[in-house]
């Protein structure tokens, strides 16, 4: 059966649901705590992009590799740091992505991008 066959995806529902429950619990804790004093507060801003990346990496880890990274518990896992650095939306990364779509990738790699060296460093 193909990896994305209905049966395989359906078997992932309970794990995905459990991770979504863990995410809501982590967000509730984040929203409840004042970042300076640690006291409970009624209003707080949360950066959802980071949390979405964490839960996505957790789900991919369990579904694809059979490994739980526990990223929702503010993990300091090296893989999370690499993942966040690779996906951090900086102007150069956005320009690189657009150039890669518009032009041939070999031509794009010939340009002197800081991002090329960073990708090599992070993925080695």
CA angle 65, 68, 69 (to 5 degrees): 105
pLDDT tens for each residue of 29-70: 888 776 666 566 666 677 788 888 889 888 988 888 888 888
For 78-122, write each residue's pLDDT tens digit. Answer: 777 777 777 777 777 788 888 889 988 888 777 777 777 777 777
Q: So where are the chain's domains?
A: 1-88, 89-124
CA atoms of 30 and 17, how far apart (whole Å): 20
- In whole angstroms, what is the distance from residue 72 CA to residue 18 CA? 12
Q: What is the pTM of this model?
A: 0.61
SS3 33: strand
19 has pLDDT over 80: yes
With b meaning 16 or more CB within 10 Å and e meaning fewer, what string describes 18-37?
A: ebeebbeebeeeeeeeeeee
């Amino acid at each position: 059966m193909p990896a994305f066959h209905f049966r395989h995806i359906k078997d992932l529902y309970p794990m995905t649901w459990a991770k979504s429950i863990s995410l809501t619990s982590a967000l509730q804790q984040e929203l409840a705590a004042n970042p300076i004093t640690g006291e409970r507060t009624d209003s707080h801003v949360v950066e959802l992009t980071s949390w979405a990346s964490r839960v996505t990496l957790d789900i991919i880890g369990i579904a694809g590799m059979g490994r739980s990274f526990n990223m929702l518990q503010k993990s300091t896992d090296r893989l999370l740091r690499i993942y966040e650095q690779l996906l951090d939306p900086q102007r150069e990364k956005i320009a690189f992505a657009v150039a890669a779509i518009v032009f041939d990738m070999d031509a794009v790699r010939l340009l002197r991008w800081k991002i090329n060296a960073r990708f090599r460093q992070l993925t080695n």
